[in-house]
Structure 1
């Protein structure tokens, strides 16, 4: 069942509202997504274009002859993916939602470029950012507190 959710870029210039199915998210590992985001993979959720409303229009990057990607030119946040022609749907980046907690991955895509060492990280040491004093000190000096 679709749920109305909100999101946007890091600086707040681009905001959106979309009806999405949180349990239909997936991880894309294709090289285009890796290069576009600078990451090993990106978590996406699909939405009908008619169910996406932008407040502060995103900038668009023609990432290939068949696709384009919304992003914020001011802060650089990658917001999604869609085919250039005849698109009825698009993918929105899970990390750009205000609350990404409800999302659950359903499958992997683009596995020909998957870096499996980054998939199961169970057992690696875990550290909280608010317990790294050098980082806390920088945030407190800059804005008075740690960001949420």
Structure 2
């Protein structure tokens, strides 16, 4: 299997060849804070089969745990930890075709945001449901 992906601006890219070690949706508070999102979907990849192009900046979010991101656009790219020394957990949203992602489990479900249960009952729109306000009206 060959997978590819990149950050929002394209300055950082990745290529992976091999089987993934895990395909999870994580609801932990650390992932929520790190990605400013209610959940994070990621693929576990073996370090030796993962290749990066471009510069990646790392943030040590806890001892031995690093989160990589693009220094140009700020896209969160992955997390790696001494707990899984042979793996890098790449964010599924950075895949070239993230719609192809197939998670096989959810973890830290106790931290799952309860409002996610309401999503199916909310109205759906192809774009924003309201036009933007005139900037003259905004303080």
Specify the TM-score bucket, using the shorter chain as the normaliser. Answer: 0.7 to 0.9
RMSD: 2.4
Q: Which digits, 9 at most, give the CA deviation of each residue in 1:6-39, with x for residues without a partner?
A: 1111011111001365795211111111111111
Distance change (3 Å), C-alpha of 1:132 and 1:116: closer
Aligned to 1:43: 41
> What are the within-5 Å matches in structure 2 for residues 50-89 of structure 1?
50-84=48-82, 87-89=85-87
How far residue 120 of structure 1 moved from its aligned partner, in angstroms, is: 6.0
SS at match of 2:120: coil
How far residue 85 of structure 1 moved from its aligned partner, in angstroms, is: 7.0
CA distance in 2, matches of 1:133, 1:47: 41
- Correspondent of 2:106 among 96, 105, 108: 108
Q: Which runs of 5+ in 2 are unaligned?
A: 133-139
TM-score after normalising by structure 2: 0.83
Q: Which runs of 5+ in 1 are unaligned?
A: 136-148
How far residue 54 of structure 1 moved from its aligned partner, in angstroms, is: 0.2
- In the TM superposition, structure 1's runs of 4+ consecutive aligned residues that sit over 3 Å from their partners are 20-24, 131-135
CA distance in 1, matches of 2:7, 2:70: 6
Aligned to 1:16: 14
Q: Which digits, 9 at most, give the CA deviation of each residue in 1:101-128, with x for residues without a partner?
A: 2211211112231113215622321111
